[in-house]
Amino acid sequence: MLLSAAGGGVEVDINPTLVLAQLGLLLFAFLVLKPFLFEPLMALYDERELRGKGAKLAAARMDDQAADLLRSYEDELAHVRNVAAEERDRARVEVQALENKILQDARAETAQVLTTGRQKISEEAALVEKALPPQIEEMARQMATRILDREVRS
């Protein structure tokens, strides 16, 4: 058969024997290559796809596990913070009670010291008041002598 193009002079000659021979060679190559090349190659592609999906599934599981671990960690951290806050508050109350007790003891001891000191001062003042009257006249004379710069007699 001859085909001609509209503007040029291209002729195409189709040989049915040659076409059948080429189809036969192609079919033979396909049949020979199929078990040795195509099937292993397709199995390799399928295996790669399965491994990819398996890896994606494993990665998704690991992400879920990591999220669970993170949630567990955050929950435990919150629990520990709560326990620490309670312990801190309890310790603060204990320290406040101890501080109040120490202050009360110090105030009581200070009051005791003041009372004792006042008693001693009162006792010493009484002793001085008893001891002073006989000496008052002599002391007054000595002071007058010093102030007047001459001897004063009583």
pLDDT in tens, 48-97: 998 889 889 989 999 999 999 999 999 999 999 999 999 999 999 999 99
Pairwise pLDDT comparison (150 vs 98), residue with the higher score: 98
pLDDT in tens, 15-30: 999 999 999 999 999 9
- Domain spans of the chain, in order of start: 16-148
Q: Contact at 8 Å (CB) between 153 and 142?
A: no
Distance CA 81, CA 94 (A): 20
90-129 core/surface letters (b: 16 or more CB in 10 A; e: else): eeeeeeeeeeeeeeeeeeeeeeeeeeeeeeeeeeeeeeee
- Note the pLDDT of residue 6: 54
pLDDT at 120 over 70: yes
- Note the pLDDT of residue 103: 96
Q: Which pLDDT band holds residue 127 (cuts at 50, 70, 90)? A: confident
Structure tokens that stand for 58 in this block: 């494993």
HEC per residue, the chain: CCEECCCCCCEECCCHHHHHHHHHHHHHHHHHHHHHHHHHHHHHHHHHHHHHHHHHHHHHHHHHHHHHHHHHHHHHHHHHHHHHHHHHHHHHHHHHHHHHHHHHHHHHHHHHHHHHHHHHHHHHHHHHHHHHHHHHHHHHHHHHHHHHCCCCCC
What does residue 130 show for φ and ψ, rounded to 5 degrees? Answer: -75, -35
Owner of token pair 């009257």: 133
